[in-house]
Amino acid sequence: MSNVWEDIKKSVSEWGVVASEKAEEFTHNSRLRLDILQLERKLSSLYVKLGLYVFNKTQDKNVLNFVGDKRYLSLIDNIVGIKKRIKDKKDEINNPDDETSEPIDSTEKKDK
């Protein structure tokens, strides 16, 4: 009878660990998604700034070439940087490289 209780206690303990790891993973992914939303808002704002800058330069000074324009290049660099950060965060959500996923997989394989 004591073996049954020990097995139940061990099983409940293992499930508690798995549930805790899943909760941490969910929290981490939720934070990443929130970061992505904030970066996308900032990206949208930069696109508006870039569009207004190009429009004003074209309209007021008839500028069609922005090759040496530092403000233009700065906006482009910021946009590229934010797009890379968004991609990195999306990759982190889709392909988690942390160690918490390995124990969960190994316990699932043992149970099967």
User: Per residue in 61-79, pLDDT tens?
Assistant: 998 899 999 999 999 999 9
Domain extent listing, the chain? 2-111
Please give the pLDDT value at position 98. 53
Exposure string (b/e) for 61-100, b if CB count within 10 Å is 16 or more? Answer: eeeeebeeeeebeebeebbeebeeebeebeebeeeeeeee
pLDDT higher at 43 or 1: 43
pLDDT tops 90 at residue 36: yes
| Average model confidence (pLDDT) across the chain | 86
Q: Is the pTM of this model over 0.75?
A: no
* Rg of the chain over all Cα atoms, to the nearest angstrom: 25
